[in-house]
Amino acid sequence: MPPRSDEPRRDATGSRRGAVRGGTARGGEPRTGEPPATGPRTGESRTGEPRAGDVGGISDARAYTPRGRTIRESSEERGGQRRTPRAGRSGDPFRPALQVLDGGRAVANRAGRREAAPTRRTGVIRTVPPRAAPDDDEFAEPPAPRRRPGRTPPRRTDTPGRGAPRRTEAPRRTDRPAGRRPVRKPRRPPKLAEPRRRLRLGTVLVLAVFAVIGIRLVVLQAVDTPAYAGGGVGNRLSRIDLPAPRGSIEDRTGAPLARSIEARYVFADPTMVKDRTETAKLLSPLLGVPVSELAEKMKRQGELQFRYLARGVDIARAKQIEALDLAGIGTHRDERREVPGGDLAANLVGFTSLDLDGLEGLEARYDDLLRGQDGRWVYEAGAGDLNAAIPGGYSQTTAPKPGSSLVLTIDRDLQFQVQQILSRQMAQTRGAIGAAVVLDAKTGDVLAQASNPTYNAATPEQSRPTDREDAATSFVVDPGSVHKAITYGAALQEGVITPDSAWPVANTVTRGGVTFRDTHPAEGKKLSVAGMLAYSSNVGTIEIGDRLGPDRLIDYQKRFGLGQPTGEGMPGEASGRLLPADQWSGSSYGSVPIGHSVDATPLQMAAAYATIANDGTYVQPHLIKEVVGADGKRTPSAAPVTRSVLSPQNAAALRTLLEAVTTVDGATGRAAAVPGYRIAGKTGTGLRYVDGKQQPGEVGSFIGMAPAEAPRYVVAVFVWNPEGGGGAVVAPAFREMMGFTLRHYRVPPSRGKSPNFEVFPR
């Protein structure tokens, strides 16, 4: 007999026998006539309409709904194999109901054959919803439900049992033999995406990433390389300045007046000095600096690692300091300005700072030319203890370009003698200021230009600012009677007078309420022009000025170079001042012709006399002869400005008249005569004004030329003495200076004698 089924028997209608209406069947199946909890009600299709012949019952659900497939069964189907359940094991009686809820896909046994029971059951049965492959046969039937062994599957009826959910049967194939089990087509896994498309997309993305990286690398290597390389190298670069040697200042013969020599500077690193007091004691005798000052400089101040202890130290002394091997003390190459002559032409040359920046005189005026261009050494260096040039690393050296040298028109030997004479003559005065100028009458070269007081340019810090001024270009005075040569020259050129002119001269004359007197009164006698110059007659000169008129007098003042800087080359040269004709007062008609109400410098007045000596042609005085470049190329200075002021005949006539000053008995300039030479010149007594205020004392002056018959040199001496008596100094000083100049340049004595002048003609 077949094994007894655990299912209740079914009647003809397909319903179970023994089913309890209105109750719950075994396994928790829904009662007949009640709809399941999650499906449509019994007797209704999925569209909600009742189906004819439907009979409620759980057996229909079991007959037409396949059980769910386990993961293992699904895997077997995908592998093309279908295992047969082992016999003797009954299926799950409640699986059909669950399959109804899971979709109700069941296939009736078309041949009336019952499926063999599975041989074994897995420990865990998982229901996997079946998926229809897109390319499955539309007539393929779902897998048959698992049945318990020994039971005949219920017959399918057109009307499902009551209480069972309605399902749609797959159409029966009529072209296959009855009783044969349909052959199932293996189910293929669903296609998630097209592999080739994914491969192409991935390839494109990878190529795009590599392209971006490649382009960036090309940019970094080819375009941005200099910037990145420069930025990296910049952090490793060290720089050492290579100072350019400063050009020298030489006299006309090439002898140095100021030059730069190699030296050393001594420095301290306060962070490394161990015992600053003991270190200062060792350095003090070598540097000539007090111990307290050195110790203060070596005092630690934050992270400061460099302090100068001394500049311009001799190389030999620097080696002695290096031999001490003091912690935190070192030396390095330096440059020192050397002034071989000390105070020789110091007021002209000036001085520099410790950094060799021009501060005074020609050093300041031509600083850019003398300085040159510093060089530099830029190289890659390591860090820390390896702070040295990296072999094969970046290294670039810019050689320093030495400064150019100035060759002056100054004659060192003559300069020295003029300074000595001026200093010796002024030693008898107190608080006096003196200036002396020696000019070459033909070329305008300044052969000597001295000031007193002076200073040592090697140690300028020990002098006063007033001692460092160049009096020849900054000392503005009323020239006084030396100005009369300009008045007489203009009168000769304009035909107002002749060398033989003479007329009665009174002792005094009044202009604008001011009375002007003569120091050598003529008592109303006829006085020649030569006599007026010999005795420095104010009254006779004022009368010549009246004949000349203010406009013509001012015009000749300008032609002789007054009222404007000479452009000699010294910085800060004063221009002087001329009184315009429209500003003349009544007294100006008396003061201007005799050299008052006129501001001029000693150099301007010396240039005016050089015009007379040079046959009436003005030549601009100048100090710079030529410039010598670092390559030795010599560049002459620009040609001096020249202009005609007097005719050669009138200039020669004026020179002859000026000889009376040093030859006539009782003349004002007898003390200036140089034995063996004819001297033409003029004395003067003027005033000094500072900021428009008259200063006490007087300014004595003498300007002369020699030999008078053919002048070659002009010497001008000015001395301001606040106690008066400057005139007693200048004439003797002129005599010594002119005498040395004539001998120094080997000028032969004059062959003839000065003419005999008739002072009081009949």
Strand 249-250 relative to strand 405-408, pairing: parallel
Give the model confidence (pLDDT) of 440-450 as tens digits: 999 999 999 99
Same domain, 559 and 671: yes
b/e sequence 524-538, b meaning 16+ C-beta within 10 Å = eeebbbbbbbbbbbb
* Domain boundaries, position 493: 447-456+472-625+638-744
Q: What CATH number does the domain containing 736 carry? A: 3.40.710.10
Sign of the alpha-carbon dihedral angle for 258, 260, 266, 269:
positive
Q: What mean pLDDT is reported for the chain?
A: 81
- Please tell me which residue, 59 or 504, carries the higher pLDDT value: 504
Q: In this structure, what token pair is assigned to residue 270?
A: 């306060």
Is a pLDDT exceeding 70 seen at residue 603?
A: yes
Tell me which of 260, 451, 481, 537 is the catalytic residue. 481
User: Average pLDDT for residues 679-707, to the nearest whole number?
Assistant: 91
Question: Which amino acid belongs to residue 238?
Answer: S
Give the model confidence (pLDDT) of 641-661 as tens digits: 999 999 999 999 999 999 999
Same domain, 125 and 261: no
3 state SS of 276: helix
Report DSSP state, residue 648: H
In the chain, the number of structural domains is 3
Q: What CATH number does the domain containing 326 carry? A: 3.90.1310.10
Q: Is 481 a catalytic residue?
A: yes
Same domain, 394 and 452: no
3 state SS of 738: helix
pLDDT band at 197 (very low <50, low <70, confident <90, very high): confident
pLDDT of residue 38: 41
- In-domain check, residue 431: no
- In-domain check, residue 63: yes
3 state SS of 83: coil
Continuous H helices in 254-353: 276-287, 291-297, 315-324, 346-349
- The DSSP secondary structure of 92-144, one letter per residue, reads -TTHHHHHHHHT------TTSPPPPPPS---SS---B-----TTS-TTPPPPP
Is a pLDDT exceeding 70 seen at residue 23?
A: no
Is a pLDDT exceeding 70 seen at residue 306?
A: yes
Same domain, 271 and 398: yes
Same domain, 581 and 709: yes
User: Average pLDDT for residues 347-361, to the nearest whole number?
Assistant: 93
Percent of the residues in the chain that have a pLDDT greater than 90, as a whole number? 56
Same domain, 322 and 392: yes
For the chain, the straight-line distance linking the first and the last C-alpha, in angstroms and rounded, comes to 198
Q: Computed over its alpha carbons, how large is the radius of gyration of the chain?
A: 64
- In-domain check, residue 760: no
Taking the model in full, what pTM does it have? Answer: 0.69
Write out the H or E segment, with its range, that includes residue 452.
strand 446-452
pLDDT of residue 96: 56
β-partners of residue 665 are: none
Say if CB 297 and CB 277 are below 8 A apart. Answer: no
Q: Which of 36-50, 310-324, 357-371, 469-483 has the lowest mean pLDDT?
A: 36-50
- In-domain check, residue 439: no
pLDDT of residue 140: 45
Same domain, 276 and 399: yes
Q: Which of 55-59, 220-224, 519-523 has the lowest mean pLDDT?
A: 55-59
Is a pLDDT exceeding 70 seen at residue 408?
A: yes
Same domain, 597 and 728: yes
pLDDT band at 386 (very low <50, low <70, confident <90, very high): low
- In-domain check, residue 47: yes
Question: Which amino acid belongs to residue 176?
Answer: R
Is a pLDDT exceeding 90 seen at residue 584?
A: yes
Same domain, 246 and 160: no
Sign of the alpha-carbon dihedral angle for 446, 450, 455, 458:
positive
Is a pLDDT exceeding 70 seen at residue 183?
A: no
* Residues with Cβ within 8 Å of residue 490, at least 6 apart in sequence: 496, 548, 552, 553, 555, 556
pLDDT of residue 55: 44
pLDDT of residue 228: 72
Q: Which of 282-286, 382-386, 452-456, 629-633 has the lowest mean pLDDT?
A: 382-386
Is a pLDDT exceeding 60 seen at residue 706?
A: yes
pLDDT band at 380 (very low <50, low <70, confident <90, very high): confident
Same domain, 685 and 612: yes
Same domain, 402 and 478: no
- In-domain check, residue 226: no
Q: Which of 91-95, 604-608, 683-687, 694-698 has the lowest mean pLDDT?
A: 91-95
114 exposure class (CB count in 10 Å sphere: 0-12, 13-18, 19+): middle
Q: Which of 497, 541, 534, 496 is nearest to 517 (CA)?
A: 541
CA distances from 619 to 214, 395, 474, 650, 706 (A): 77, 54, 20, 17, 17
CA distances from 557 to 155, 405, 592, 636, 713 (A): 153, 36, 10, 30, 22
Note every long-range contact of 303-310, with CB atoms under 8 Å and residues 24 or more positions apart, other chains counting. 303/271, 304/270, 304/271, 305/269, 305/270, 305/271, 305/272, 306/267, 306/268, 306/269, 307/267, 307/268, 307/269, 307/270, 308/265, 308/266, 308/267, 309/265, 309/266, 309/267, 309/268, 309/283, 310/265, 310/266
Cα–Cα distance for residue pair 367/362, rounded to 1 Å: 8
- In-domain check, residue 759: no
Beta-carbon count within 10 A of 648 CB: 12
Question: Which amino acid belongs to residue 96?
Answer: P
Q: How far is CA 267 from the centre of its chain?
A: 26
Cα–Cα distance for residue pair 65/169, rounded to 1 Å: 10
User: Average pLDDT for residues 65-71, to the nearest whole number?
Assistant: 50
User: Average pLDDT for residues 44-57, to the nearest whole number?
Assistant: 44
Give the model confidence (pLDDT) of 528-555 as tens digits: 999 999 999 999 999 999 999 999 999 9
Q: Which of 118, 138, 172 is the last residue of a domain?
A: 172
